[in-house]
Structure 1
Amino acid sequence: MTQTASLRAPGLAEIEALAHQAFAALPDAFRGRCDGLAIHVVDFPDDATLMEMDCETEFDLLGLFRGVGLAQSGEIATGQMPNAVWLYRRPILDYWAEHAETLGDLVTHVLVHEIGHHFGLSDDDMARIEAAADLD
């Protein structure tokens, strides 16, 4: 068997483990404002999400925050689903295959970016948080 024949793409559980590792490495102040946040990893966004986000293909979206952001009020109403970050494994792997960053760094970037939407953070704020996580 050749070396390339034995290679396989990381599965859902492996991406989920990277996401939880990335979340655990974030600064306490950042994680503390994410009480009850669920992290989901699926292969692709569903059709409704693709339409809502005006995606041309199922590979256009790496992640998505769903819920009530702190900038909107931060309070969860009765019956409302909990705040969640969705990471899309196949688009993440596709992006990873074409770029030089490690898979862990990419998962961290997507996770921080999506949680940042919950906080109303700027791109500069998100870059500082990613640098503080320093997973390497």
Structure 2
Amino acid sequence: MDRPLTGPAAEKFEAIAAEAIAGMPAAFREQMTGVVVRIEEFASAEQLAAVEMHHEERWYLTGLYEGRPLTEESVWESGGMPPVISLFRQPLLLEMRETGVALEALVKHVVIHEAGHHFGFSDEEMHALEDQVE
């Protein structure tokens, strides 16, 4: 796949991501206030390298958490960049087309999964969080 896909604009993705975060249980939602959510068309070369993927695989990375998980933060450190959840629009559109899963469900799943990295969760704990989101 070389051509960009058409579909909802980045603003739609942002709105769905905000709804997913707003639907989290209060204890989790409060800890997400400093996390930045960005919508990009694709992961950058640096982001792909960070997860050991190549440029040709850019269509398969739908989201990425960059930052220090809460479980590794220290009160002695300050001044760092805020954690970021990046959602990659083109891969999400492709997954939506290939699977038939609604965009809202895909974006919600990726946001919750990446938020799970922020909390230092295992995959099992991430699925439990996803089940709790309204």
SS in 1 for 2:99: coil
Aligned to 1:73: 73
Give the structure 2 partner of residue 118 of structure 1. 118
1:36–1:106: structure 2 CA closer, same or farther, 3 Å change rule? same
Larger CA Rg, structure 1 vs 2: 1
1:96 aligns with 2:96: yes
TM-score by length of 1: 0.84
Which 5+ residue runs of structure 1 have no aligned equivalent?
Answer: 1-7
Q: Does the Cα contact within 8 Å between 1:70 and 1:118 map onto a contact in 2?
A: yes
1:1-136 maps to which residues of 2 (within 5 A)? 8-56=6-54, 57-73=57-73, 77-134=77-134
Seq. identity, % = 33
RMSD of the TM alignment (CA)?
1.7
More helix by proportion, 1 or 2? 2
Deviations 1:35-91 (A, max 9, x none): 311111111111111122221321121111111111222558444211111111111
Matched residue count? 127
For residues 92-113 of structure 1, give each alpha carbon's deviation from its aligned partner in whole angstroms, at most 9, with x where no partner exists.
Answer: 1111111132211111110011
